[in-house]
Chain A
Amino acid sequence: NAGVTQTPKFRVLKTGQSMTLLCAQDMNHEYMYWYRQDPGMGLRLIHYSVGEGTTAKGEVPDGYNVSRLKKQNFLLGLESAAPSQTSVYFCASSYLGSSGNTIYFGEGSWLTVV
Protein backbone atom coordinates (compact mmCIF):
# COMPACT_ATOMS: atom_id res chain seq x y z
CA ASN A 1 0.00 0.00 0.00
CA ALA A 2 1.79 3.11 -1.24
CA GLY A 3 -0.82 5.64 -0.04
CA VAL A 4 0.57 9.16 -0.48
CA THR A 5 4.09 9.37 -1.83
CA GLN A 6 6.20 12.52 -1.98
CA THR A 7 9.37 13.04 -4.00
CA PRO A 8 12.00 14.14 -3.29
CA LYS A 9 12.31 13.54 0.45
CA PHE A 10 15.20 15.97 0.88
CA ARG A 11 16.49 18.84 -1.23
CA VAL A 12 18.87 21.75 -0.82
CA LEU A 13 18.35 24.69 -3.15
CA LYS A 14 20.20 27.91 -3.74
CA THR A 15 18.26 31.14 -3.58
CA GLY A 16 16.64 31.82 -6.93
CA GLN A 17 16.62 28.22 -8.12
CA SER A 18 13.41 26.48 -9.08
CA MET A 19 12.12 23.05 -8.25
CA THR A 20 9.02 20.88 -8.24
CA LEU A 21 7.73 18.62 -5.49
CA LEU A 22 5.68 15.70 -6.70
CA CYS A 23 2.85 14.12 -4.75
CA ALA A 24 1.26 10.89 -5.93
CA GLN A 25 -1.66 9.04 -4.35
CA ASP A 26 -3.03 5.65 -5.33
CA MET A 27 -6.33 5.81 -3.45
CA ASN A 28 -8.37 7.55 -6.16
CA HIS A 29 -8.92 10.53 -3.89
CA GLU A 30 -10.55 13.65 -5.28
CA TYR A 31 -9.01 16.11 -2.84
CA MET A 32 -5.31 16.84 -2.59
CA TYR A 33 -3.47 19.39 -0.47
CA TRP A 34 -0.03 20.88 0.05
CA TYR A 35 0.92 22.06 3.55
CA ARG A 36 4.08 23.50 4.97
CA GLN A 37 5.24 23.04 8.54
CA ASP A 38 7.43 25.53 10.35
CA PRO A 39 8.51 25.50 14.02
CA GLY A 40 5.76 26.82 16.29
CA MET A 41 3.35 27.32 13.39
CA GLY A 42 1.68 23.98 12.96
CA LEU A 43 0.73 23.03 9.41
CA ARG A 44 -0.42 25.75 7.07
CA LEU A 45 -2.22 25.16 3.80
CA ILE A 46 -0.43 26.37 0.67
CA HIS A 47 -2.70 25.21 -2.16
CA TYR A 48 -5.31 22.54 -2.64
CA SER A 49 -7.27 20.80 -5.36
CA VAL A 50 -10.80 19.43 -5.32
CA GLY A 51 -10.39 17.49 -8.53
CA GLU A 52 -8.37 16.95 -11.69
CA GLY A 53 -7.67 20.22 -13.48
CA THR A 54 -8.70 22.43 -10.54
CA THR A 55 -6.57 24.20 -7.96
CA ALA A 56 -7.14 26.87 -5.34
CA LYS A 57 -5.12 29.01 -2.95
CA GLY A 58 -4.79 28.21 0.70
CA GLU A 59 -3.52 30.25 3.61
CA VAL A 60 0.07 30.86 2.41
CA PRO A 61 0.17 30.58 -1.42
CA ASP A 62 2.69 33.30 -2.28
CA GLY A 63 5.81 32.03 -4.03
CA TYR A 64 4.26 28.70 -4.98
CA ASN A 65 2.36 27.31 -7.95
CA VAL A 66 0.55 24.01 -8.34
CA SER A 67 -0.89 21.80 -11.02
CA ARG A 68 -3.22 18.80 -11.05
CA LEU A 69 -3.13 17.46 -14.57
CA LYS A 70 -3.85 13.92 -13.44
CA LYS A 71 -6.14 12.90 -10.61
CA GLN A 72 -3.43 10.96 -8.83
CA ASN A 73 -0.73 13.65 -8.97
CA PHE A 74 -0.43 17.09 -7.38
CA LEU A 75 2.71 19.12 -8.14
CA LEU A 76 4.03 21.99 -6.05
CA GLY A 77 6.42 24.36 -7.79
CA LEU A 78 8.82 26.97 -6.48
CA GLU A 79 9.77 29.27 -9.34
CA SER A 80 12.42 31.28 -7.50
CA ALA A 81 13.27 29.78 -4.13
CA ALA A 82 13.80 32.04 -1.12
CA PRO A 83 15.25 31.22 2.32
CA SER A 84 11.78 31.85 3.80
CA GLN A 85 10.63 28.75 1.92
CA THR A 86 12.89 26.51 3.98
CA SER A 87 10.36 24.18 5.53
CA VAL A 88 8.94 20.69 5.68
CA TYR A 89 6.29 20.17 3.04
CA PHE A 90 3.45 17.70 3.41
CA CYS A 91 1.11 16.45 0.76
CA ALA A 92 -2.26 15.02 1.76
CA SER A 93 -5.32 13.57 0.10
CA SER A 94 -8.85 12.47 0.87
CA TYR A 95 -12.12 11.34 -0.63
CA LEU A 96 -14.86 13.75 -1.54
CA GLY A 97 -17.45 14.48 1.08
CA SER A 98 -18.53 12.50 4.08
CA SER A 99 -17.63 9.22 2.42
CA GLY A 100 -14.15 9.72 3.79
CA ASN A 101 -13.55 12.27 6.49
CA THR A 102 -9.94 11.28 7.10
CA ILE A 103 -7.07 13.05 5.38
CA TYR A 104 -4.04 10.91 4.59
CA PHE A 105 -0.56 12.40 4.67
CA GLY A 106 2.68 11.73 2.88
CA GLU A 107 5.91 11.41 4.84
CA GLY A 108 7.08 14.95 4.18
CA SER A 109 9.72 16.64 2.06
CA TRP A 110 12.51 18.58 3.74
CA LEU A 111 13.51 21.63 1.72
CA THR A 112 16.40 23.92 2.62
CA VAL A 113 17.02 27.12 0.67
CA VAL A 114 20.49 28.63 1.20
Chain B
Amino acid sequence: AQTVTQSQPEMSVQEAETVTLSCTYDTSESDYYLFWYKQPPSRQMILVIRQEAYKQQNATENRFSVNFQKAAKSFSLKISDSQLGDAAMYFCAYRSAQQGGSEKLVFGKGTKLTVNP
Protein backbone atom coordinates (compact mmCIF):
# COMPACT_ATOMS: atom_id res chain seq x y z
CA ALA B 1 0.00 0.00 0.00
CA GLN B 2 1.12 3.52 -0.70
CA THR B 3 1.99 5.86 2.14
CA VAL B 4 2.59 9.59 2.28
CA THR B 5 4.69 11.22 4.99
CA GLN B 6 4.80 14.88 5.93
CA SER B 7 7.52 15.25 8.52
CA GLN B 8 6.75 18.84 9.50
CA PRO B 9 3.57 19.11 11.60
CA GLU B 10 3.96 22.90 11.75
CA MET B 11 5.90 25.53 9.84
CA SER B 12 6.01 29.31 9.99
CA VAL B 13 7.17 31.95 7.55
CA GLN B 14 7.39 35.71 7.46
CA GLU B 15 5.16 37.51 5.02
CA ALA B 16 6.90 37.95 1.63
CA GLU B 17 9.44 35.23 2.43
CA THR B 18 9.75 31.76 0.91
CA VAL B 19 8.90 28.50 2.64
CA THR B 20 9.25 24.87 1.60
CA LEU B 21 6.98 22.09 2.84
CA SER B 22 8.31 18.54 2.68
CA CYS B 23 6.59 15.38 1.52
CA THR B 24 7.88 11.88 0.89
CA TYR B 25 5.94 8.89 -0.34
CA ASP B 26 6.36 5.19 -0.72
CA THR B 27 5.14 3.26 -3.74
CA SER B 28 6.17 0.45 -6.03
CA GLU B 29 4.25 1.92 -8.96
CA SER B 30 5.86 3.87 -11.76
CA ASP B 31 2.83 5.83 -12.90
CA TYR B 32 0.98 8.07 -10.47
CA TYR B 33 -0.03 11.62 -9.63
CA LEU B 34 0.99 13.80 -6.71
CA PHE B 35 -0.95 16.71 -5.29
CA TRP B 36 -0.76 19.48 -2.75
CA TYR B 37 -4.07 20.54 -1.23
CA LYS B 38 -4.62 23.61 0.92
CA GLN B 39 -7.20 23.57 3.72
CA PRO B 40 -7.94 27.00 5.25
CA PRO B 41 -9.95 27.34 8.48
CA SER B 42 -13.14 26.95 6.45
CA ARG B 43 -12.05 23.32 5.93
CA GLN B 44 -12.57 23.51 2.19
CA MET B 45 -10.07 21.35 0.29
CA ILE B 46 -8.42 23.49 -2.39
CA LEU B 47 -6.13 22.00 -5.01
CA VAL B 48 -2.87 23.96 -5.06
CA ILE B 49 -0.77 22.06 -7.56
CA ARG B 50 -0.44 18.64 -9.17
CA GLN B 51 2.37 16.68 -10.75
CA GLU B 52 2.25 13.74 -13.13
CA ALA B 53 4.97 11.24 -12.30
CA TYR B 54 5.89 10.71 -15.95
CA LYS B 55 6.73 14.40 -16.35
CA GLN B 56 10.27 15.39 -15.43
CA GLN B 57 9.50 19.08 -15.38
CA ASN B 58 8.43 20.43 -12.02
CA ALA B 59 4.94 21.89 -11.90
CA THR B 60 4.42 25.56 -11.12
CA GLU B 61 1.30 27.60 -10.39
CA ASN B 62 2.04 31.28 -9.86
CA ARG B 63 3.81 31.53 -6.46
CA PHE B 64 3.61 27.78 -5.88
CA SER B 65 6.10 25.31 -7.27
CA VAL B 66 7.20 21.79 -6.52
CA ASN B 67 10.48 19.96 -6.40
CA PHE B 68 9.68 16.47 -7.64
CA GLN B 69 12.43 13.92 -7.14
CA LYS B 70 11.05 10.63 -8.43
CA ALA B 71 14.01 8.46 -7.52
CA ALA B 72 14.04 9.83 -3.99
CA LYS B 73 10.23 9.71 -3.80
CA SER B 74 10.16 13.29 -2.64
CA PHE B 75 7.62 15.98 -3.51
CA SER B 76 8.17 19.29 -1.74
CA LEU B 77 6.09 22.45 -2.14
CA LYS B 78 7.71 25.86 -2.31
CA ILE B 79 5.64 28.95 -1.63
CA SER B 80 7.29 32.17 -2.75
CA ASP B 81 6.39 35.68 -1.59
CA SER B 82 4.21 34.24 1.19
CA GLN B 83 0.94 36.03 1.87
CA LEU B 84 -1.28 36.06 4.93
CA GLY B 85 -3.89 34.17 2.93
CA ASP B 86 -1.48 31.27 2.52
CA ALA B 87 -1.92 30.36 6.18
CA ALA B 88 -3.61 26.96 6.22
CA MET B 89 -3.13 23.23 6.57
CA TYR B 90 -1.35 21.77 3.58
CA PHE B 91 -1.80 18.16 2.60
CA CYS B 92 0.36 16.15 0.27
CA ALA B 93 -1.49 13.38 -1.55
CA TYR B 94 -0.76 10.45 -3.85
CA ARG B 95 -3.01 8.94 -6.47
CA SER B 96 -2.31 5.81 -8.45
CA ALA B 97 -2.66 5.99 -12.22
CA GLN B 98 -2.94 2.24 -12.49
CA GLN B 99 -5.81 1.24 -14.78
CA GLY B 100 -8.64 -0.64 -13.13
CA GLY B 101 -7.79 0.50 -9.64
CA SER B 102 -9.76 2.65 -7.27
CA GLU B 103 -7.55 5.64 -8.00
CA LYS B 104 -8.14 6.87 -4.48
CA LEU B 105 -6.13 9.68 -2.90
CA VAL B 106 -3.79 8.77 -0.07
CA PHE B 107 -3.03 11.72 2.19
CA GLY B 108 -0.24 12.72 4.47
CA LYS B 109 -1.12 13.99 7.94
CA GLY B 110 -0.66 17.60 6.97
CA THR B 111 1.54 20.60 7.76
CA LYS B 112 0.07 23.63 9.44
CA LEU B 113 1.55 26.78 7.92
CA THR B 114 1.50 30.05 9.83
CA VAL B 115 2.32 33.31 8.04
CA ASN B 116 3.61 36.07 10.30
CA PRO B 117 3.05 39.71 9.31
Bound complex: CA A10 to CA B27 (Å): 36
Bound complex: CA A41 to CA B6 (Å): 11
A101 sits at the interface (CB 8 A): yes
Chain A positions 94-114 with a Cβ under 8 Å from a chain B Cβ:
94, 96-98, 101-103, 105, 107-108
Chain A, residues 33-74, CB within 8 Å of chain B (1/0): the string is: 100010011111100101000001010000000000000000
Cβ contacts under 8 Å, B103 to chain A: 31, 94, 96-97
Chain B's interface size range is 20 to 34
A43 to chain B, nearest CB (A): 4
Chain B positions 38-64 with a Cβ under 8 Å from a chain A Cβ:
42-45, 47, 50, 52
- With A43-B107, A101-B50, A107-B43 known, 16 other A-B pairs at CB within 8 A are A31-B103, A42-B108, A42-B110, A43-B105, A45-B106, A48-B102, A56-B102, A92-B105, A94-B103, A101-B52, A101-B97, A102-B35, A102-B50, A103-B95, A103-B105, A105-B44
Q: List 21 A-B contacts (CB under 8 A).
A: A31-B102, A37-B43, A42-B108, A42-B109, A42-B110, A43-B107, A44-B107, A45-B104, A45-B106, A48-B102, A50-B102, A92-B45, A92-B105, A98-B97, A101-B95, A102-B47, A103-B105, A105-B45, A107-B43, A107-B44, A108-B43
